[in-house]
Structure 1
Amino acid sequence: MVPQNPTPDDNFDWTAAEADVKNVVDLDAVRTRRDSEPGETHFEVTLDESPTPGGMPVDPPPPSGPAGRVPIVPVGWSTWPNIKHSIRQTAAVTAYRCGFHALRSPKYAIVAAFWAVVGLFRLTGRQIRWWWVTEQYSLRQATADANDPAMWLKLHREVKATRTWRFIVLSAEAMTVVIGGPILWATAPWWALALTITAVVAFLAHLGRPDDRPIITPATVSGRFRRVNPDIILRAYYAAGLGHPDKPHQQISFGSTMARDTSGTGSQVSIDLPYGKTFDDAVKARGAIASGLDVAVSQVFITRDPSSHRRHTLWVADRDPLAQGAGRTPLLRCKPTDIWQPAPFGLDERGNKVCVDMMWNSILIGAQPRQGKTFAARSLALHCALDPYVKLTVLDGGGKPDWRKFALVADRYAFGLAMTRDGDPAEIVLEALREIKADVQDRYERLSKLPVDVCPEGKLTREIARDPKYKMPVRAVFLDEFQEYFDLGDISKEIAALLVYLVKVAPAAGVFFVDATQRPSGVGGGQIAQQFISFRDNHQIRFSLRTGSWQVSDLVLGSGAYSEGHDSSTLLPSYKGVGILRGASDATPTVRTYLADADDAEKILIAARKLREAAGTLSGMAAGEDITREVRDVLADVRSVIERNETGAQWEEIAVRLADRLPEAYADTTAESISAQVRSFGVRSVDVKRNGKALKGAKTDDIDAAIGRRKAA
């Protein structure tokens, strides 16, 4: 590949400069040597050439292992399990190829026979031309044109002598075939005949077949790759504006040699930017770097180097690493998990396993519809389900079938917004959040009173969480399509207040949230909209699958993600279950999540229920508890706080009395929310006088009438 307009700095001999680059010296010295020892440019390389096993021709693979040494025995043959795996893998590929070609062998035989006939004629023509010495025609014609009879006669005698002995050779060849063929046919065993015929047909077919018409179809197709070398990298970085080849102290230098990575799926090199340029600059210029390398942006990955903010590692994948799924979830083993250990989530762009530490963190997942948002949240919920000591609450505002099977293990669950046999889902959500808030507050009080030898840091430990006498198990709350709970009218005011409180306070008490939405921009306006934003922004870990714009991506990943070069709107629509994970570690990888479809989830949840039954931790709705009895009778509660001698009460009074007498249910209630709930039963909001001041409230007779209507219904 030769550039259309190569610059002077493109044309230097990297081989001559290699020692300088390895030592990370200034490129001015390299240019001086280049000018005195001109060489060929590295741009003259084959496009889409298959990479050499082991790396670039002049660069060794990078060291590996704690001692910084390449293993003497390859990893694939270092242990007996690895040897067995390698043998099985090789045998499987060989068996596949044998079966592939065996099925097509009749076609190969017919095509080979056809081209063998063509090859026979071509071989005959070649031998006739060889016998007749046709290449001498031009010489004799030249002597004739020059009127040189002596030379012509000499050439004529030479050609006659040559034709004579070549005729003898061809005659011997023909006699061998005419006489030896029948003898071989009559005396040789069948396998010798078969081998001879196969060899002859193959030879003739090779002569007759055009170069672009192969007889045998490849069973496997080798990938085609863009070979990357240091010159192309320099061109890309300079084109991206990260340096300048001719300005002092603005040159790009290398902190390592260009080499294949240990996985054999790409090339990597350590880059030193000019002083003043930062890692963030390189991340922002990732698209321009990909253009300069002439590869897709999904093949370029930049990793921070902890030793310097101007140094980073550039990894260029041979092919798009995000186009291939991560495979089935390892949770299909149905073995018990431990919530105190990170949950398996997927693979990053380089095939490394990515795990998410769920303890003490709240996790936000956002994406467009049908990009794998629910599957990503559900994979984390399955990890929690397999830990029998985790108390699960699953609330799905969308009512999709993806979460229904969690009824096998969830302490509290609500699906959709339509009335069900379990009651009103909105009321179940409200009651569940109230109960969780009360539990969190109680936990903080009890943890502060535990002795230091039991609770050293005043926070929940694994031993406390798993000891039933403390009654403080880890609680995991999963909300899918949580925006629906902010758009239910007056009841949303209390739900929103509870969610904001819990997402801020609960994780430190061992109660964490995993929340998914397809509308991270928020709902409506006013106080609920502000609470939505507060709830969304108080998640420590964020995972964004494909979004519609960089602005929405920033809402999911958090402010500043786009300026750091992280934009989930650039993910292709074909990427399902692929997103950017921010906040889980120092890195921000692009993750291909593990797959767990409906059948996989059901299998895991059945196993999880058995684990809970064996541990005696199955509780709540999964254990058959009738949650409807915990839903408050608002009319009865309001009637109970109105004194006998009162004809009515103002909404403000009712809210204060409810919070004082029934704090477990009405601690956060407001005059507006209680008014909305009571009026939904047909109770009028009228003026009620108190201390000479008339404010809106409810009459006792109206409340009694509403209770009577409900009983009669």
Structure 2
Amino acid sequence: MSHPTPNPDDRSDDTEVSNVVAFPIPTTEQPDEVEESGALVELDHGDEVEVLDGEIVGDDEGPRPTLPAELAGPARRELLPIIPAWLADRDQFEATVRWAWTYCHHTARYHAVRVPLYTLKLTAASPRGLGRAVMAWQRWAFDTESRALRQSTIDAADPSAYLALSRQRDDHVRTRLRVSAVTAFLSALGLGVVWLMYPEAMQTVLLWTVVVSIVAFGLLGRREDKPIVRAAVLGQQASKLTPDVVVRAFVGAGLCKEDNPVTFAQPIQREGRGWLAVVDLPYGKHAAQAVGKRESLASGLNVNPITVFIDADPVSARRVRLWVSDVDVFAQKPVTSPLAGMDEFDFWQPIPFGLDARDRKVMLPLIWSSLLVGAIPRMGKTFSARIPTAAAALDPYVELFVFNGKGDGAWRAFEKVAVAYGAGVRDQVMELLVTTLRRMVADMNDRFERMAKLPVDVCPEAKLTPAMARNKRLNMPLTVLSIDEVQRYLEHPEYGAEVLALLTDLVKVGPAAGYMLILATQKPDGKVIPDSLRGQIGSRFAMKVMTWQASDTILGAGSYQAGMDASKLSRAHKGVGILLGSDDSELAEQGGQIVRTHLLSSADVEVMCDRGRALRSALGLLKGMAAGETPTVETTGSVLDDVASALTAVAGNAAGAHTEVVLARLAEMRPEFYDGWTGSTLAGALKAYGVEPTQVWGTTPEGEKKNRQGYKRDAVIAAQSARIDRGE
């Protein structure tokens, strides 16, 4: 059977030419015919096939043609709910009834108050309307619309056509004048009869005649720029979202055309405090394009962009869910976090973080992930970062470490439960932070070594489990490190590079060993927080920033093109940001969503830390500074000084030593700090001093002479001298 080649000229602009001949897209009438059992369907090459339940049937052998998806049977069809969601769900039903009452009540009151004004407007416009009515009757009665046609026959010097048109016009005029005269006579006769037979009702009839005349002539005489009746709009609260408005918005946004509009997967309905429209884009368009057109859609809907929310529907790549709120949902009073009322919390469970635009709870899972929070000052960054930190405080099996780069009292309550706590960037705090990070990296590597030796039933998937984390004998508790204003530590001239290297090492592989980081910054700069660290953080929360580049820095490259731009958030919306999961967590599956975080006041945090301290004390799990212990802090020099000492010890007068040799010597010098360090950790710590690894001729641990990556002694000594000259 030969198939004709499709003609490219017959296709629309949105259709691609292919060398494979497809079935024609059916018209809207075809599916109803195909659904009938045994219906005959004619294909584009002229053959007819019998369709039964969406399948081609027949006795012939050999390959059968395949029906397109549009003609497929029930297996390809989406099952719609039998009872609409707004009717099946009690909350949705109540929301719908409330909206209907608000709309009807407001509309009735609005127009009732303005009846006198409408009367004056109609009366003032009625003379103009009467004049327009007279002129319209004159044009109709004397057939003035045919004047141009008769003139054209005169210009063409066609007397026969002119005479025919003139006779036709005369017939029309006579007939229409007679109709007008009869109508006027009958109307006058009717009024006369009423006056003679029902004289007492004449006054009422005349009154209604005047009223109807004023209304009719007033409406006819109204001006386009001065409507008699305006819509009874109560902000957006009573504005109904209609299909015409939705189609207009998508056409205006360039997501469809007037001759190929969007279609509706279900009727527009109320959902929460807004309207929900589930829309299918034209074939070839996808949901990501619609998400990126949020502001254009808001313009087409004639609403504020902050009230428009659009996201992809997993049913189809071209299906989107458009939700338009009645009010600015993010300007509402913040909701107190449910954590404030909890006696205890299991950190293995997702953390209640806030509410989305539809007032649905947003849960933040931090197991196997870390969190980066970024915003300009006074947008609620510290409050947001304290939520997961407070959740960790309520879990007695979590070891908590807190550092506040700003140095204020916003985090002071966590001293009651934190193994280590530091505020500011004084030398003692920097040394405590570096000491803490070194020990964490060493412990992380030790955990992996020990987990590798455990049976599979104890440590499945080579990850920490709740049972392992709560087993005191294994000593592998969940460990949460929360650092506010982390940029102040990363910019430190002496320890900044080492802090960056250690944090990067923890973020890369630490979650599997039970290490979770919460980092907050008001300086989302790619230089301050490079991608080596930022790119490894699984969850991001971006509140108001100044530029889309800063938004991309927090949320990740490409988020702006995907329609996520924290610079578009309003300064008035404290604690509101875009939450995005960039790893393989459940949060990542949901995509970027605007979230209004829960509120945890300083008083709430104080009470929660008291509960956390009591829980730890009861279980004998209070440790470190919270238990009154004085932290052991290493104050003898920096990594640069240690590397210089190590090179002197292992290389002597030689040019340098291999990286593994330097690491082995560092571990001997201070095992509590350098155990578990890798070449990348050391390279990151020395980078700030201008010392880079290079090829070095030296002796390997096996006693062989080889060229390998290492460090030259002269470069390290020169970096030490430069640091002294700078007064560091």
TM-score by length of 1: 0.61
Q: 1:648 to 1:415 in 2, by over 3 A?
A: farther
The SS at the match of 2:537 is: coil
The one of 528, 533, 536 equivalent to 2:534 is 536
Note closer, same or farther for the CA distance 1:473–1:299 as it changes in structure 2 (3 Å cut).
Answer: same
Contact 1:486 1:532 in 2 (8 A): no
Partner residue in 1 for 2:489: 485
Does residue 425 in structure 1 map to residue 438 in structure 2? Answer: no
Equivalent in the alignment of 1:193: none
Contact kept in structure 1, 2:416 and 2:610, CA below 8 Å: yes
Match of 1:351 among 334, 355, 359: 359
1:665–1:66 Cα change, 3 Å? farther
State the 1:658 CA deviation: 2.9
Is residue 238 of structure 1 aligned with residue 258 of structure 2? Answer: no
Q: Would the aligned equivalents of 1:366 and 1:518 in 2 still touch at CA under 8 Å?
A: yes
Q: Map Cα deviations across residues 659-704 of structure 1 (whole Å, 9 max, x no partner).
A: 4432332455869979999xxxxxxxxxxxxxxx994788xxx9xx
Give the deviation of 1:334 after TM superposition. 3.5
- 1:245 aligned partner, one-letter code: E
Within the alignment, does 1:254 sit opposite 2:254 as a pair?
Answer: no
Is it true that 1:396 corresponds to 2:399 in the alignment? Answer: no
Aligned to 1:192: none
Q: Is the 8 A contact 1:64 1:70 kept in 2?
A: no
Distance (whole Å) between structure 1 residues aligned to residue 535 and residue 505 of structure 2: 13
Q: Does 1:228 align with 2:236?
A: no
Residue by residue, what CA displacement relative to the aligned partner does 1:299-335 show, whole Å, maximum 9, x if unpaired? 1111211111101111111111111144111111131
Asked if residue 460 in structure 1 is aligned to residue 453 in structure 2, the reply is no
1:534 and 1:428 map into 2 onto residues whose CA distance is 23
Aligned to 2:670: 662
What is the deviation of 1:547? 0.7
**Pair 613,560 (structure 1): closer, same or farther in 2 beyond 3 Å:** same
Tell me the secondary structure at the aligned position of residue 449 of structure 1: coil
What's 2:701 paired with?
Answer: none
State the match for 2:577 in structure 1. 579
SS of the equivalent of 1:542 reads strand
Distance 1:76 1:266 in 2: 10
Contact 2:444 2:510 in 1 (8 A): yes
In 1, the alpha carbon distance for the partners of 2:684 and 2:372 equals: 30
Letter in 1 for 2:240: R
Contact 2:369 / 2:539 at 8 angstroms: preserved in 1? yes
Distance 1:432 1:241 in 2: 54
Aligned residues of 2:381 and 2:543 also touching (Cα < 8 A): yes
Counterpart in 2 of 1:633? 636
Contact preservation (8 Å) 1:651, 1:671: no
Cα deviations across residues 118-156 of structure 1 (Å, max 9, x unaligned)? xxxxxxxxxxxxxxxxxxxxxxxxxxxxxxxxx9xx99x
Structure 2 CA distance for partners of 1:289 and 1:543, relative to 1, 3 Å:
same
Instruction: Name 1:449's counterpart in structure 2.
Output: 453
Residue 373 of structure 2 aligns to a residue whose secondary structure is strand
* SS of residue in 2 equivalent to 1:477: strand
In structure 2, the partner of 1:612 is 616
Q: Which amino acid aligns with 1:252?
A: V
Q: Tell me how far 1:226 sits from its aligned partner.
A: 2.5
Q: Take 2:568 and 2:433, find their aligned partners in 1: how far apart are those partners?
A: 35
Q: CA separation in 2, counterparts of 1:395 and 1:341?
A: 24
- Could you tell me whether the CA contact under 8 Å between 1:651 and 1:675 is conserved in 2? no
The answer (yes or no) to whether the contact 2:298–2:308 under 8 Å persists in 1 is yes
Contact residue 237 and residue 289 of structure 1 kept, 8 A: yes
Q: For residues 345 and 65 of structure 1, do their structure 2 counterparts lie closer, same or farther at Cα, with a shift above 3 Å needed?
A: farther
Q: Secondary structure at the match of 2:285?
A: coil
Rounded Cα–Cα distance in structure 2 between residues aligned with 1:291 and 1:404: 46
Where does residue 544 of structure 2 map in the other structure? 546
Q: What secondary structure does 1:437 align onto? A: helix
**Runs of 5+ unmatched residues, structure 2:** 1-25, 32-78, 99-191, 204-233, 582-586, 690-711, 722-728
Instruction: Give yes or no for the alignment of 1:596 onto 2:606.
Output: no
CA contact (8 A) 1:490 1:672 kept: no
* Matched-pair contact (CA < 8 Å) for 2:86–2:270: no
Structure 2 residue identity aligned to 1:539: I
Tell me: CA distance 1:634–1:236, structure 2 relative to 1, closer, same or farther (3 Å): closer
Shift of 1:73: 9.1
Task: Please name the residue that 1:496 is paired with.
Answer: 500
Change (3 A) 1:69 1:353: closer
Count of aligned pairs: 479
> Which of residues 243, 259, 275 in structure 2 aligns to 1:267?
275
Return the alpha-carbon distance in structure 1 between the equivalents of residues 320 and 644 of structure 2.
Answer: 68
Contact persistence 1:26–1:253 (CA under 8 A): no
Whole-Å separation in 1 of the counterparts to 2:404 and 2:441: 19
Relative to 1, partners in 2 of residues 1:449 and 1:245: Cα closer, same or farther, differing over 3 Å? same
CA deviation after TM superposition for structure 1 residue 26, in Å: 5.5
The equivalences for 1:70-469 within 5 A come to: 74=90, 224-246=237-259, 250-261=260-271, 263=272, 265-418=273-426, 424-469=428-473
Aligned residue in 1 for 2:16: none
Which whole-Å CA distance do the structure 1 matches of 2:530 and 2:337 have between them? 32
Q: Give the Cα separation in 1 of the matches to 2:713 and 2:317.
A: 67
Q: 1:674 to 1:505 in 2, by over 3 A?
A: closer
Unmatched 5+ stretches in structure 1? 1-23, 30-62, 79-85, 87-150, 163-220, 524-528, 678-692, 703-713
Look up the match of 2:478: 474
Contact 2:498 2:686 in 1 (8 A): no
**3-state SS in 2 of match to 1:457:** helix
CA 673–565 in structure 1, closer or farther in 2 if over 3 Å, else same: closer
- Relative to structure 1, the CA distance from residue 300 to residue 671 in structure 2 (aligned partners, 3 Å threshold; closer, same or farther) is closer
Shift of residue 532, structure 1, vs aligned partner: 2.9
Contact 2:501 2:682 in 1 (8 A): no
Q: What is the DSSP-based 3-state SS (H/G/I as helix, E as strand, rest coil) of the residue aligned with 1:586?
A: helix
Aligned CA RMSD, in angstroms, stands at 4.0
Aligned residue number for residue 124 of structure 2: none
Tell me the distance in 2 between the aligned counterparts of 1:593 and 1:317.
18
Which secondary structure does the structure 2 equivalent of 1:322 belong to? helix
Q: Tell me the TM-score normalized by structure 2.
A: 0.60
Amino acid in structure 2 at the alignment position of 1:605: C
Rounded to whole Å, the distance in 2 between the matches of 1:514 and 1:222 is: 40
TM-superposed CA distance for 1:354, in Å, is 0.4
* 1:102 aligned partner: none
Amino acid at match of 1:604: M
The amino acid that maps onto 2:368 is W
- Tell me, in whole angstroms, the C-alpha distance in 1 between the residues paired with 2:87 and 2:258: 38
1:277, 1:77 → 2: CA distance?
A: 33
Deviation of 1:465 (Å): 0.5
Does the C-alpha gap of structure 1 residues 73 and 391 become closer, same or farther in structure 2, counting only changes over 3 Å?
A: closer
- Structure 1 residues 350, 75: closer, same or farther in 2, change over 3 A? closer
Describe the shift of the 1:576–1:28 C-alpha distance in structure 2 as closer, same or farther (beyond 3 A).
farther
Whole-Å Cα distance in 2 between the matches of residues 362 and 563 of structure 1? Answer: 24
1:697-708 superposed matches below 5 A: none
Matched, 1:559 2:533: no
1:185-211 CA-to-partner distances (Å, cap 9, x unmatched) read: xxxxxxxxxxxxxxxxxxxxxxxxxxx
Call closer, same or farther: CA 1:435–1:66 in 2, change over 3 Å.
farther
Cα 1:27/1:404, change in 2 over 3 Å: farther
Name the SS of the counterpart of 2:418 in structure 1.
Answer: coil
Instruction: For residues 568-622 of structure 1, give each alpha carbon's deviation from its aligned partner in whole angstroms, at most 9, with x where no partner exists.
Output: 1111110000001111242221100001111111111111111111121111111
